[in-house]
Chains A and B, each alone.
Chain A
Amino acid sequence: MKERALQSESSGGLEDRIDAAWIWDRIARVVIFAGGVSAIVLIVAIFVFVANEGLGFALFDLDKGQFFGSPNWRPTTEPEGEFGALALMAGTASVTGLAMLIAVPFSLGAAIYISEFATGRTREILKILIELLAAIPSVVWGFIGLTILNPLIIDMFNVPVGLTVLNAGLILGLMAAPIMTTIAEDALKAVPESYREAAEAMGASRWQVIRQVVLPSAKNGLVAAALLGVGRGFGETMAVLMASGHAVHMPTSPFDSVRALTATIAAELGETAQGSDHYRVLFTLGILLFLVTFVINLLADILVRKGGGKRS
């Protein structure tokens, strides 16, 4: 390209003039390219950093049987810490599971209402409110868990502690619901209007159209929405840290306090000696979280693409 431009310049034809527009064009190209590449570079850098700190330890020094099999997380015991992450995994899983039980029906219902029933102003207002809900910082949610839900749970269920799986699950469910609603609504909106019209013209009621036509067509997108919600739940730290009670404990009921993987890293990393086993095992937890959320997001992405491909 460049050579040709120069040639034409020498032959006096279409010359590539170096003026302000040309310079701005070049600058813009470089900036946009850097912006695009930076996302990839940063992801790779984060992965390399986390792997560098934790992967060697995870592969060679860590007692895998203990890590996955023991509920005893005693990282500061002398002379050697005990690194059983089972209770942490169970904590994260129980809180996320409960959150999904709450968030999936709520957000599916909300998405169906907004996409299929609400019209005009109602719909716009609802969409704005839901986006607003998604923008509440997680520490505020944690605060709500700590100061509102905690005494409420103690009162209602007559239990000694209100910072439990139930509390964290409720908070996390409320946090995940707006995001899931938005994605699920997109999936429902992507169902071609001609399907709805076809079914209605055959005499289907609105509910029949939704149940027999819209939901099956949007199935992949809806599952992806739920998966992204799960990913959100796995990765959430602050609210869970504040609402779950942060006690290393294998949960047996919703009224048990638990500790999440994320919360453990957040709470302990600042107090470990860099390079120590404790420090490294926290990075191993990070790798675990990274892998789980990566797989979940990948699955969601594949499902969304598959859904889109089928419709077009």
Chain B
Amino acid sequence: MGTDPKGGSNITKGDQGAPEGVPLSGSEPASPAIRTRDLNLWYGDFQALFDVDIDVRQGKVTSLIGPSGCGKSTLLRSINRINERLGYVRTAGTIEVMGHDVLADDVELTPLRRAVGMVFQRPNPLPLSIRDNALFAYRLHRGGKGPAAEEDAVMEKALQEVLLWDQVKDRLNQRATELSLEEQQKLCIARLLPVQPSVLLMDEPCSALDPKATHAVEELLWKLRGEYSILIVTHNMAQARRASDECVFMLMGKVVEHSSTGDMFVTPKSQQTADYIEGRYG
């Protein structure tokens, strides 16, 4: 089983070697970016995820869809283990990112979160300058500021990649919280790129944006696809249909259906999926 060269190999401290697991069928070009098996998750006594098995393909955009409270955000937030901030979360099963078990005891969160970037529902730039925001993760993983020329190059590349450079290049010292929401969200994506994550997790990244900004961010996702594997939670059926390669439909903490976007919207396998897509509930 091949592992992705960038980022993937530094998730585990001890690098436990090749993970075991079911070999994928011949049609699959590479190992999945994210793979979960028998993933169960509880918030205190409440079980939020039931035996979730998904494979998110490398270099594709995969949408997680389903009604509110179906567990899609929970699933997303368990992949970079950010939901452990809550303290009362219990997880059982396996989650592998680029072939590495992220729930293993020896996993350190810092490299995991370097390999798995996350974009939140509300743009959450830090109350720092645009420059310091764009370089935050870079400096964090570098262990301090880099040489000025290198920092400038890294920042420009990241901001260029999210199509933000031209708008902000003359005001890099302005506070990022003063940008428009669209610009803030792009900056929140840009700040992940300098540390070369393999996976980007996005939790309804457009829900706080207006239609024009939503369109701009969707374009951006499509552009980043290929280089990054993207898992995106969305409430917006049209968005899932427009801007993803595959869709995972969840209901009550279970995965109901996982298929290519075209198949899911044209010939859904499950009646529940069809009902949801056609707006009969949710």
Q: Does A1 contact B (CB under 8 A)?
A: no
Q: What residues of B have a CB within 8 angstroms of the CB of A203 in the complex?
A: 109-114, 137, 140-141, 195
A199 in complex: contacting residue of B80, B109, B122, B136, CB < 8 Å: B136
Contact B85 A216 (CB under 8 A): no
Q: Does A121 contact B (CB under 8 A)?
A: no
CB distance from B136 to the nearest CB of A (A): 6
CB distance from B210 to the nearest CB of A (A): 20
For the complex, what is the distance from the CA of A98 to the CA of B263, rounded to whole Å? 73
Residues of A41-73 contacting chain B, CB below 8 A: none
Q: Does B188 contact A (CB under 8 A)?
A: yes
Contact A197 B140 (CB under 8 A): no
Q: What residues of B have a CB within 8 angstroms of the CB of A204 in the complex?
A: 110, 140
Residues of B107-151 contacting chain A, CB below 8 A: 109-114, 117-118, 120, 122, 124-128, 136-137, 140-141
Contact B113 A195 (CB under 8 A): no
**What residue in chain B is nearest A311 (Cβ atoms)?**
B127
For the complex, what is the distance from the CA of A100 to the CA of B95, rounded to whole Å? 50
Contact B140 A195 (CB under 8 A): no
CB distance from A18 to the nearest CB of B (A): 51
Contact B127 A195 (CB under 8 A): yes
Supposing A200-B85, A201-B82 touch, asked if A195 and B126 sit within 8 A by C-beta, the answer is yes
For the complex, what is the distance from the CA of A204 to the CA of B188, rounded to whole Å? 15
Flag A191-234 by CB within 8 Å of B: 1 or 0 each: 00011111111111100100011001100000000000000000
Q: What residues of A have a CB within 8 angstroms of the CB of B111 in the complex?
A: 203
Q: What residues of B have a CB within 8 angstroms of the CB of A217 in the complex?
A: 127
Contact A197 B122 (CB under 8 A): no
Instruction: Tell me the A residues contacting B by CB distance below 8 Å.
Output: 119, 194-205, 208, 212-213, 216-217, 310-311
A-B contact pairs, 20 of them (CB 8 A): A194-B120, A196-B85, A197-B82, A197-B85, A197-B124, A198-B120, A198-B125, A198-B188, A199-B136, A201-B80, A203-B137, A203-B140, A203-B141, A204-B110, A205-B110, A208-B140, A212-B136, A213-B127, A216-B127, A311-B127
